[in-house]
Amino acid sequence: MDEIRGDIVAACHRLAREGLVVGTAGNVSVRRDDLVALTATGVVLAEATVDDVTVVDLAGEIVTGGLRPTSEAGLHLSVHRKFGDGAVVHTHAPASTALACVLDELPVIHYQLLSLGGAVPVIEFHPFGTPELADAVSEAMVHKNAVLMANHGAVSRGATLAEAMDRTFLLEWACDLYARASTLGTPKTLTQQQQQAVIEVALTLQYGKPQPVNGDSQ
């Protein structure tokens, strides 16, 4: 898990550098087999080191590390138990959190939201660190790669830490887009038919993958 702990530190630094986390708010975890590495509670993410990443088993018992895991450990473990190996990123990113104070869901105002599973639900408010919040988030993630938590923040998951990070940044971008669009008028949303058309084009063009000019990709 040493390499994973290093990857988590790098992710924390990037989240702080790009303004998605402030101070100790936010946490990152990665599951590999029966172990989960996650940030410790009270850690300033911008200054995190590998010693600030604790390794626990799937029941939350500490395996490696001298610091108590994040107060959202239950949320991370609930998602990891449901989905197997992968990564979870939780932030109080400004645009994501702002929209989670206002909306019941972030509608599909841009086709890039389809990679998060379409409209992003805002989970009903439960206090941080509670089993109710953990259950609600992991349940919603059956159909979504990212969710918003009412008056709290955002959670993204991915098969890899890089993927969970990409989704965290994409969700923040989309929330910022919605907020900007809302200052100009009522944002239009893509219909089911339009969404389906985008999916078909993306499958045909292998959208989102690098495509060598002389390669096999069309």
Interatomic CA distance for residues 73 and 136, integer angstroms:
14
Taking CB positions, which residue lies at the least distance from Zn ion? Answer: 153
Interatomic CA distance for residues 84 and 157, integer angstroms:
11
Residue numbers 136-175 binding Zn ion by CB under 5 A: 153
Active site residue 72: yes
Binding footprint of Zn ion, residue count (CB under 5 A): 1
65 vs 153, beta carbon nearer Zn ion: 153
56 vs 149, beta carbon nearer Zn ion: 149
118 vs 153, beta carbon nearer Zn ion: 153
Residue numbers 53-112 binding Zn ion by CB under 5 A: none
The distance from CA 96 to its chain's CA centroid, rounded to whole angstroms, is 11
Which of 61, 72, 124, 139 is flagged as catalytic? 72
Interatomic CA distance for residues 62 and 166, integer angstroms:
28
CA dihedral (165, 171, 172, 174) positive or negative: positive
Interatomic CA distance for residues 79 and 139, integer angstroms:
8
Closest distance to Zn ion from the beta carbon of 87 (Å): 16
Closest distance to Zn ion from the beta carbon of 194 (Å): 34
Comparing CA positions, the residue from 157, 151, 15, 161 lying closest to residue 77 is 157
Q: Which residues belong to the active site?
A: 72
- Report the interface residues with Zn ion, using CB under 5 A: 153
